[in-house]
Amino acid sequence: MADVAELKEKFAIPGVLAFEKTASGLVAARVTTPAAEATIYLHGAHLTHWKPAGEAPAIFVSQRAEFVAGKPIRGGVPVIFPWFGERHDGKSGPMHGFARISEWELAFAAMTGDELHLAFTLAPDDQSRALGFDHFRLSYRVTIGRTLTLQLTVANDSGSGGAREASIETKAMGAPLVFEEALHTYYAVADAQKVSIDGLGGTTYLDKVDGMKRKVQPAGMLKLEGRTDRPYLNTEATCVLHDEAGGRRIVVAKKGSATTVVWNPWKELTATMADMEPDSWLHMTCIETANVGEDSLTLAPGEHHSMRAHISIEKIA
């Protein structure tokens, strides 16, 4: 668990970046700049709040979210690695992988102009090694301002330092790293029944609500009309979330991501989720910047890959 005193000593910026240990024992970075405020937990490098100046918060977090080591926080931006959803290589492991329930380290913090740049890192630990992952490094760069930029970089560091850890076969041999990844972002909306999403027309998706059937999104806007759970494949498109009731658009541009997942649990599924209030499905919609399924990635030893989401807010005149 991160040491708050050490974080304060190394990274605190008076009036901009502060650290606190919350009642549940997790350590949070609290950001306040002229352009925006934000909160990011070292647990999962989990951003739970981003509010550009003059705007309502743009990221949803459940009022019943649990802030407990080893458990995922409901809402915000869960960082998903090295698998998406259920582990699907025949082995067991936590839903959506271990990154979002791991303790990340803060490696960098600096203000440039009115933007705060943070960098978090995650290296193999006992949990990841027990799950068969000992040859990866993650860095997660978060830039907080009037816009929000999230960049997840995955490196395969097997084959390097083999002598140091020759006992670990994959490390010495240099094994490929096969993984899925997602920035599982919960956007805050005023009424999900009046939300439409532009950018996915003509794109193939798997309909997880209809037996994973492969379908093509009709041209035009995607309107949410019920539980929606769709990985859209082979798309680099920018998505625009029109929050009609909220009077704004949330623009999600991306780079290095071939999958966009759209999720809203809707009323019935939400009623079964202990960490969601019954009507909270109305106030969130996930547009997830990802590489999953047939878009999953393989890195040779020494290779790395970056995926970035750039999020901005526009008022609907």
Comparison of 79 and 142: residue with beta carbon closer to ligand TA6: 79
| Residue 293 makes contact with ligand TA6 by CB under 6 A | no
- For residues 280 and 270, is the Cβ–Cβ distance under 8 A? yes
Size of the site for ligand TA6 (CB under 6 A): 11
307 - beta bridge partners?
Answer: 152
Q: Which residue among 46, 49, 135, 184 is the active-site one?
A: 184
- The C-alpha atoms of residue 222 and residue 239 are separated, in whole angstroms, by 10
| Residue 162 makes contact with ligand TA6 by CB under 6 A | no
Comparison of 95 and 178: residue with beta carbon closer to ligand TA6: 95
- Transcribe 107-119 into DSSP letters: EEEEEETTEEEEE
Among 157, 180, 243, 288, binds ligand TA6 (CB under 6 A): 288
Strands 213-216 and 284-291: unpaired
- The C-alpha atoms of residue 231 and residue 208 are separated, in whole angstroms, by 8
The structure tokens listed for 229 are: 């759970």
Comparison of 72 and 124: residue with beta carbon closer to ligand TA6: 72
| Residue 181 makes contact with ligand TA6 by CB under 6 A | no
- For residues 187 and 205, is the Cβ–Cβ distance under 8 A? no
Among 263, 264, 284, 295, binds ligand TA6 (CB under 6 A): 263
Among 99, 106, 177, 261, binds ligand TA6 (CB under 6 A): 261
Terminal C-alpha separation, the chain: 46
The answer to whether residue 242 is catalytic is no
- For residues 295 and 233, is the Cβ–Cβ distance under 8 A? yes
The structure tokens listed for 215 are: 């379908």
- Interacting residues with ligand TA6 between 200 and 239 (CB under 6 A): 208, 229
| Residue 180 makes contact with ligand TA6 by CB under 6 A | no
Name the residue number minimizing CB distance to ligand TA6.
263
The answer to whether residue 55 is catalytic is no
- Interacting residues with ligand TA6 between 87 and 106 (CB under 6 A): 95-96
* DSSP secondary structure letter of residue 31: E
**Could you list the residues that contact ligand TA6 (CB under 6 A)?**
72, 85, 95-96, 184, 208, 229, 261, 263, 286, 288
Annotated active-site positions, please?
A: 184, 288
